[in-house]
Amino acid sequence: MKKTFTVVAVVLAFGAVAAFAGTISIPQFNDRGGQTSPSTLFSADYQATWITVTNVTDTDKVITINYYLLNGTPDGTSTWLMGAKKAVSWRPVAVDTNEADAIPSPSTSIGPGWCQILYPGTAADVCGRVFQNSAATQTSFGFTLMPYD
């Protein structure tokens, strides 16, 4: 019985790992929600973050995003089919019409959080960027999202 349990546990663990071969983590974003101005890209609440991912392969990918509060509490999940050679950009806590290819965000909390982007294939199949504007401090910054296995 013990051998059977061990084999089943190993198969289940491998299956869970094999389901998502690529992961991109966004360690923190801060978005206060609200619609942005098309001319300035600042939201009415002075914090706006955009996340963009690009599928660089010739095949469609199922993308899953798990959102979390800063303390690790789950805050929603989104899954969608991303076309080959396509990019999608969205705000993590606001549906912003200034993002033409925006996807609805399931994150339910306004403010800071973090997320993981999971996808099948190799780690290099998807890449992206994060961009944040803060009118309160008159700063903007961005960084590239590097996948890892």
**pLDDT tens digits, 10-46:** 333 333 444 567 889 888 888 876 666 666 666 566 6
- Give me the chain's average pLDDT, please: 76
Residue 62, strand partner residues: 81
CA 100 – CA 142 distance, rounded (Å): 19
Q: What is the pTM of this model?
A: 0.74
Q: Between the CA of residue 8 and those of 12, 15, 16, 21, what are the distances in Å?
A: 6, 10, 12, 21
Helices (H), ranges, the chain: 2-19
Q: Find the mean pLDDT for residues 64-83.
A: 91
